[in-house]
Amino acid sequence: MTDYPPATWRLLISAPAEGAVNMAIDEAILHAVAAGQAPPTLRFYAWEPPCLSLGRAQEADDVDLDALETAGFGLVRRPTGGKAILHIDELTYSVVAPGAEPRVTGGILESYRRLSAGLVRGLERLGVPEVVADQRAARGRLDGPVCFKVPSDYEITAGGRKLVGSAQMRAQGAVLQHGALPLYGNIARICPLLAARPDPGSVRARATTVEAVLGKRISWDAAAEALAAGFAEMLNLRLEPGPLTAEEQAQAGRLQKEKYATEDWTRRA
């Protein structure tokens, strides 16, 4: 048991959605939590169709748009930093909480460390061996357009390979952290979709999936259940299932239309 005081957070299980919808929902929750109109929230979701997401400051020219269109995948820019991620065959999580919430107080790295404890415990519940939050990543950072090519501080590795990619933003006195857990499939599928054509072998050497680690496929539902239990255990949480509020739904609709589905946002440098 941790030293955190008991707290109740909302657990939100979203239906699969396109990239602009997913990013709009995460930001809408951020606004609602910041305004005191919604409780701290742990959300799990998937992407349909598969989507490549760019970090907030990443160059849009990193993407081969023709290859992406041929594959039938979407494109969106995240409100958080980091590099490109292909969201396919994965579980995505987001955490939104007020900045004063003891589980996210302090600097970005400190809150990463706290939230990573929940992710690590959830993966252990799935049977993932040698799973740790890597503290040494900043000294081994590599340049390039692929998020999963190298872990950042306190991101999750299994057997030395990156397993969870996360990013965080802070606005209006609240914290949003979201991240991707690849469940199965070829972790290097992103390479042909990027203009620089990163080496697939290099990506496979540094990143992995749950299936590759366990030697068996884990369902999305099983992964979500395990991660929710990990967060609850390590952060001393009671997770109460609940939907988006009407205002969050309306705000998400506005953000999707006016921001995340627009070329001005997606193609911004």
Please give the pLDDT value at position 149. 44
Distance CA(175)–CA(210), nearest Å, equals 27
Domain with residue 191: its CATH number is 3.30.930.10
* 96 within some domain: yes
Please give the pLDDT value at position 190. 97
Distance CA(109)–CA(124), nearest Å, equals 22
The DSSP call for residue 102 is T
Is the pLDDT confidence value at 172 over 90?
yes
- What is the pLDDT averaged over residues 107-118? 93
* 251 within some domain: yes
* 1 within some domain: no
How does residue 138 score in pLDDT terms, banded at 50, 70 and 90?
very low
Given the residues 32, 85, 146, 147, the one annotated as active site:
147
Is the pLDDT confidence value at 146 over 80?
no
* 109 within some domain: yes
Q: Is 147 a catalytic residue?
A: yes
Distance CA(13)–CA(9), nearest Å, equals 13
- What is the pLDDT averaged over residues 58-69? 96
Domain limits at 89? 7-266
Please give the pLDDT value at position 268. 85
Residue-wise pLDDT tens digits, 114-136? 999 999 999 999 999 999 986 65
* 2 within some domain: no
Nearest to 77 by CA among 92, 96, 62: 62
Please give the pLDDT value at position 209. 98
Distance CA(122)–CA(128), nearest Å, equals 9
Please give the pLDDT value at position 144. 61
Average predicted confidence (pLDDT) for the chain: 93
* 184 within some domain: yes
Name the domain count of the chain: 1
Distance CA(136)–CA(195), nearest Å, equals 29
Please give the pLDDT value at position 3. 87
- What is the pLDDT averaged over residues 7-31? 98
Residue-wise pLDDT tens digits, 190-248? 999 999 999 999 999 999 999 999 999 999 999 999 999 999 999 999 999 999 999 99
Nearest to 97 by CA among 21, 45, 38, 154: 38
